[in-house]
Chain A
Amino acid sequence: MNLTAITTAPLNQQAVAASLDTAGIGAVSVFLGLVRDRNQGRRVLHLEYEAYEPLALRGLDLIVAEAREQWPAVRLAIHHRIGRMAIGDASVVIAAASPHRADAFAASRYAIERIKQIVPIWKREYFEGGDVWIEGATADPDNAGAREQALRIACA
């Protein structure tokens, strides 16, 4: 299994975690992002995700490389699902393996913050009474300030 993936298939957290080499590892942190039933006071019915797939995959690979630079002993796998998802479905799985827990938690938090900054994936929210494209950050992998902000959050 690849360390990074963009897929329409339901995510399997155990398979993603099992794809990591665990030699010398003392901690594995698995983060799941789930489709929430409420957003900004609206009752959400379902979400539809789309991606610019080749660039989104490069973005995930870049995040893995950045994390390796910051935490050389951490191994990271990131799978993001696209397409239609129901409430409670996992849209993203991040597995971080490390000799010690602190770095596993930090790398996992860093990865989700960076996904929201630089990976070209968009969610369309279908709620009671309408639908709307959610727009977050202007993606710029060269923005050092954004990367520092993700690091600060990860290491808080």
Chain B
Amino acid sequence: MRVTVRLFARLRDIAGAGELQRDLPAGASVHTVWRSMVSDFPELSAYESSISCAVNADYSRFTAAVADGDEIAFLPPVSGG
């Protein structure tokens, strides 16, 4: 299956793109997607304990299953206001 990965702020800078596609095996979780990103962009690993994630623009958990066509977003600590 294929998912879209969205990255923001510093994560986007590290990867050099805000939107990427990833092909994943069946049964993949959000954590599978994150591991795939860290494997391609090792600098992302510094964010492992501080990021939030979202599936299809709704906050989610690393353990959540992902489906074909999903949009998975990884969010560094926020700084709005």
Contact = CB atoms under 8 A, between A and B. Distances in A.
Given A49-B80, A115-B81, A122-B78, A139 B59 contact: yes
A120 B6 CA distance: 12
Interface residues of B, number: 20
Given A117-B78, A121-B80, A133-B9, 4 more contacts: A91-B81, A118-B78, A121-B79, A138-B77
Interface string B6-21: 1011100100000000
Interface stretch (B22-30, B35-43, B46-54): B46-54
Contacts, number: 89
A142 B61 CA distance: 11
A55 interface: yes
A141 B53 CA distance: 12
Given A52-B57, A55-B54, A120 B10 contact: no
B10 to A, nearest CB: 4
B59 to A, nearest CB: 6
Contacts of A156: none
